[in-house]
Structure 1
Amino acid sequence: MARRFDCSDLEQRTVGVMEAAAAVRRGELVVLPTDTVYGIGADAFTPAAVTALLDAKGRGREMPPPVLVGTVRAATALIDDLGPYGQDLIDAFWPGPLTLVCKANRALSWDLGETKGTVAVRMPLHPVALDLLKETGPMAVSSANRSGAPAATTAEEAQEQLGDSVEVYLDGGKTTDNTPSTILDLTTAVPRLLRRGAIPVEKLRGIIGYVATED
């Protein structure tokens, strides 16, 4: 039976984060608020948990989930190479709604799906998410909705879609902005925009100069 914790109450938030962290360590799924929309998360290093996450969403391995981290150090441990622009982007926009696609550390033993040797990583600007991530370490996190359905902006919306496939719901209230994160690919010589989102391209260009776009 899924449990939901009201994170506006300090005691419930403390207990909820601990219960969610314990669930993640057991290979179970949790829902957490982020600075964009609610996310459904699992331990990034437990392949069965990542598979359960994709199943809960109705999504295949061809769409691997991004990884959320609670610290920059945790992110750099996952990445083989930040390239010439990665650190400047992290300094400017993390924590925040910028997802960076980088070459993954080949020494890591994990299976996020068909990643082609890359990892999409982000540090969210949300206190509940950061509290949880600092307890769990890197988590595979995708938007908390069934594939093709609107992204959840409340814990209630997430629970309506995902039900008992999730062990713990951390309710941080309605998200203030449902614009998804901007996704930038750093695996090519020129940074390439994969998804327009909360951080405009102009701001990215203000930090690193040229960014390739589809249009």
Structure 2
Amino acid sequence: MRKNASILALVSVLTCIVLVNSATAASISFSDKVEFVTDLPPNNMAQISLPSFDTQGGTLTLNSVLVEIFHQGSVQMAADNDDPFRPAVVRGRMFRTFTATGPGVVAGGNNVTSTPFVNLDPDNGDLVIFDPTGPDGVNFGVLAYGPLLAHSSNPATALYATPVPGLVNFDIEATLMSQDLQFQGQAPDAWTLEVENPRLSVTVKVTYDYVPEPSTLSLLGLGLVGLVRRSRR
């Protein structure tokens, strides 16, 4: 009798350990990104499709959903002062703005990235010929930022849980992709800006925290107790 009591106590401890360890939420993440080179329709819209949380017919329970949206941008810029009489103090700027919508998510992000100000001499005689070298021109090189976190939220689990494998869709729109020159003081009467390789990337990441179905754990505990009962006979 004492031996069986000891076994029952051991089984109880093991069952508690199983329940505690199993109740600890596991997690799985999915992510994908889209890239834009223009804010002009229809090329400024794209869709990201990620796996929904497959409950495997109810054997897994989704505890929470975390949706994170990141963005990053870049561009190459150069400028030339074409005014033969007026110097310039100037910098380049890059503007990026987007929106994102998905199940329980309405989000967006924006960023302005600037170069340092530089001094440009009056035009050196090349006039309309574009020459981004000093002293009247400048090659700003690559302006870039990110990735930056634009959005983080916990939408309803019902919007992401499916009994079989499925998809959740996010619609992304690049609403502004522009570059310009900002002058200190009076701007030259004539100048040229060259832009190459504009980019805007948006990444959506979904993280699912989940635990096994409680009924499965109960059956496991009952099975262990039944094993002890059989050993007592």
Larger radius of gyration between Structure 1 and Structure 2: 2
The structure carrying a bigger strand percent of its residues is 2
The structure carrying a bigger helix percent of its residues is 1
The answer to whether TM tops 0.5 is: no
TM-score (norm 2): 0.19
